[in-house]
């Protein structure tokens, strides 16, 4: 559903499984740092709200959004990790660079999900036309995509555990 119709941070708390015994990897892009740090804060706060201990959140920073799939692939080698969250922000500019980065990271995350039997990789990447749209989705009027990505990670980790 389009963000205009649903706040990224609103969800039924009771619909999320207990995550107190789960471990999560987060790969966060450094590019557009003001946005990605807000996404990271949202993700960590949400994981902790659902019982994840700070020591069970493994953070990796990568230079940009395009590097997120490689970072996720490296984190997936840690067998203790139940799910991986990728956080990045790509804002449309005057060149086709936006399209290449967005397509590449989307395909990279999907390839990791299709090629892995046991570690879901969550797409927490903002792909907006303006910086304001990004701010609006990183703790602004539309909530925080980091919250949404963390909830998705918990739910997908539970699904993966149930199907091992």
Catalytic residues: 97
- Residues 84 and 72: beta-carbon distance below 8 Å: yes
Nearby residues of 103 by Cβ (< 8 Å), 6 or more positions away: none
- Phi–psi pair at 125, nearest 5 degrees: -110, 130
Q: How far apart are CA 13 and CA 151, in angstroms?
A: 9
Q: How far apart are CA 11 and CA 155, in angstroms?
A: 12
Q: How far apart are CA 70 and CA 159, in angstroms?
A: 24
Residue with tokens 């299709």: 114
Q: At what angle do helices 68-75 and 97-115 cross, to 10 degrees?
A: 20
Q: Which of 62, 63, 54 is nearest to 24 (CA)?
A: 54
Q: How far apart are CA 128 and CA 130, in angstroms?
A: 6
């Amino acid at each position: 559903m389009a963000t205009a119709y649903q706040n990224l941070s609103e969800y039924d708390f009771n619909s999320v499984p207990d995550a107190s015994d789960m471990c999560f990897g987060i790969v966060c892009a450094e590019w557009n740092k003001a946005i990605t740090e807000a996404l990271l804060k949202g993700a960590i706060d949400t994981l902790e709200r659902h019982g994840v201990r700070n020591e069970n959140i493994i953070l990796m920073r990568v230079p940009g959004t395009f590097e997120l799939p490689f970072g996720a692939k490296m984190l997936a080698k840690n067998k203790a990790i139940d799910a991986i969250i990728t956080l990045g922000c790509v804002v449309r500019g005057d060149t086709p660079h936006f399209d290449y980065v967005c397509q590449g990271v989307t395909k990279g995350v999907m390839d990791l999900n299709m090629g892995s039997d046991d570690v879901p990789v969550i797409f927490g990447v903002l792909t907006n036309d303006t910086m304001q749209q990004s701010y609006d989705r990183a703790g602004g009027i539309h909530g925080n995509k980091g919250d949404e990505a963390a909830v998705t990670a918990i739910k997908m980790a539970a699904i993966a555990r149930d199907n091992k």
